[in-house]
């Protein structure tokens, strides 16, 4: 049996969050076990957690079967009205994975811009976070699912266990809030994460935090900037690990400049003006005029039309594609990096072992 790079074809580009029951989750994971005591970033761990995040979109029974096949026997699924997650653990580590929203990515994009829940709300002292993400987090954390209690139960019964939090897209956002609230989190790995909160929130995360971004993943640019005040400004958190065009990891994000980035800047300006209660309508019109936008329609109508236009631009952009946000990209690309970066001797030994057993 030859261990090689993985390839895939994403057939349904519009509904990229559909449960994938044909993908071989955790394939060859026995040869590359999870490194629970890793002190820094690990490509092996990133691949494992990308698989968990991808798997989270599938049904509960399927998740359990795949995790058991990967050699992890302890599994608990938690569900509230606004959030779903699961915990898989051994005596050494516990992986907490949050599910993103099973919706079309174009709808997700519009929701993140054209929704009043984009306004920042209080999280902790000076920390502000996305209202919609915070609402989903509170629903599972403070609800009757027993999720929070189970985490503390695991911690109390095994003080040495290492907790890893992860998620893709909206699941990444909720995972970030959960990691910030659970002081025993060893590391947080997010995939395709939107911005979650302000600078104070980003600085509050004490555990190791890694933000993996695929080239051309437009959701990672959202929500856009809405304020010039630092305490009300959305920023990303964590150490960036960027999957560039060559499918290698880089420490800097490089997206192409095109109509998309220009349009989203204009959209954020209009929305900020509309929902800023401290400004009079006269000042709002002046601000819009300063952005060289001719006022022939009401601001709300402008937003609606601009967002529709923006959606059309996204759908035809070649480098920034809807499909680049798909969780399968993160799992497959990190697997290929895993194989590429491991020392040749270790790969050869693994292949020999597989050949003997085959």
Taking only the tens place, the pLDDT of each residue in 66-122 is 999 999 999 999 999 889 999 999 999 999 999 987 655 555 555 555 444 567 889
Give 180-234 pLDDT, tens digit per residue: 999 999 999 999 999 999 999 999 999 999 999 998 887 887 876 655 566 778 8
pLDDT at 309 over 50: yes
Can you tell me the distance from the alpha carbon of 254 to that of 319, in angstroms, rounded to the nearest whole number?
A: 11
The pLDDT-based confidence of 351 (bands split at 50, 70, 90) is very low
Q: How many angstroms separate the CA atoms of 214 and 325, rounded?
A: 7
Each residue's pLDDT tens digit, 255-280: 665 555 555 555 555 555 544 544 44
CATH classification of 39-255+320-346, choosing from 3.40.50.1820, 1.10.275.10, 3.90.340.10, 1.10.420.10? 3.40.50.1820
Q: What DSSP character marks residue 240?
A: E
Round the CA-based radius of gyration of the chain to a whole number and report it: 21
Domain boundaries, the chain: 39-255+320-346, 257-318
Return the residue matching tokens 């059309």: 312
pLDDT at 338 over 80: yes
Q: What is the pLDDT of residues 192-201, one digit of tens each?
A: 999 999 999 9
What pLDDT is attached to residue 132? 86
Between CA 74 and CA 150 the distance in angstroms is 12
Q: Is the pTM of this model over 0.75?
A: yes
- pLDDT at res. 227: 58
Please name the helix (run of DSSP H) or strand (run of DSSP E) that holds residue 86, with its range, or none. Answer: strand 84-89
pLDDT for residue 53 is more than 90: yes
For residue 89, the surrounding DSSP H or E stretch is strand 84-89
In whole numbers, what is the pLDDT of the chain averaged over residues?
78
Angle between helices 327-341 and 43-55 (to 10 degrees): 160
What DSSP string describes 308-333?
HHHHHHHHH-SSS-GGGG-HHHHHHH
């Amino acid at each position: 049996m030859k261990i090689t790079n993985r390839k895939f074809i994403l057939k349904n580009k519009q509904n990229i969050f559909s449960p994938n029951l044909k993908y071989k989750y955790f394939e060859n994971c026995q040869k590359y076990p999870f490194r629970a005591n890793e002190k820094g970033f690990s490509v092996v761990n990133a691949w494992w957690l990308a698989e968990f995040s991808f798997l989270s979109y599938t049904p509960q029974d399927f998740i359990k079967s795949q995790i058991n096949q990967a050699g992890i026997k302890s599994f608990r699924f938690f569900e509230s009205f606004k959030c779903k997650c699961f915990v898989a653990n051994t005596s050494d580590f516990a992986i907490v994975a949050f599910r993103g929203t099973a919706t079309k990515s174009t709808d997700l994009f519009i929701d993140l811009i054209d929704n009043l829940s984009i306004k920042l709300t209080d999280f902790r002292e000076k920390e502000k976070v996305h209202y919609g993400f915070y609402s989903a987090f509170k629903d599972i954390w403070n609800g009757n699912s027993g999720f929070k209690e189970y985490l503390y139960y695991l911690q109390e019964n095994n003080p040495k266990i290492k907790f890893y939090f992860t998620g893709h897209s909206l699941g990444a956002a909720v995972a970030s809030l959960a990691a910030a609230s659970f002081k025993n989190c060893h590391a947080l790995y997010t995939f395709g994460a939107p911005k979650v909160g302000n600078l104070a929130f980003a600085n509050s995360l004490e555990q190791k935090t890694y933000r993996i971004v695929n080239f051309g993943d437009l959701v990672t640019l959202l929500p856009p900037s809405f304020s010039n005040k630092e305490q009300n400004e959305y920023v990303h958190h964590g150490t960036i690990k960027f999957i560039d065009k060559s499918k290698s990891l880089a420490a800097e994000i490089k997206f192409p400049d095109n109509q998309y980035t220009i349009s989203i800047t204009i959209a954020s300006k209009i929305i900020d003006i509309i929902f800023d209660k401290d400004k009079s309508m006269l000042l709002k019109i002046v601000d819009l005029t300063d952005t060289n936008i001719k006022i022939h329609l009401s601001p709300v109508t402008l937003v609606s039309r601009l967002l529709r236009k923006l959606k059309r631009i996204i759908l035809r952009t070649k480098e920034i594609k809807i499909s680049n946000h798909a969780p399968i990209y993160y799992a497959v690309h990190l697997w290929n990096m895993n194989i590429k970066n491991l020392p040749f001797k270790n790969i050869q030994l693994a292949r020999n072992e597989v050949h003997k057993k085959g």
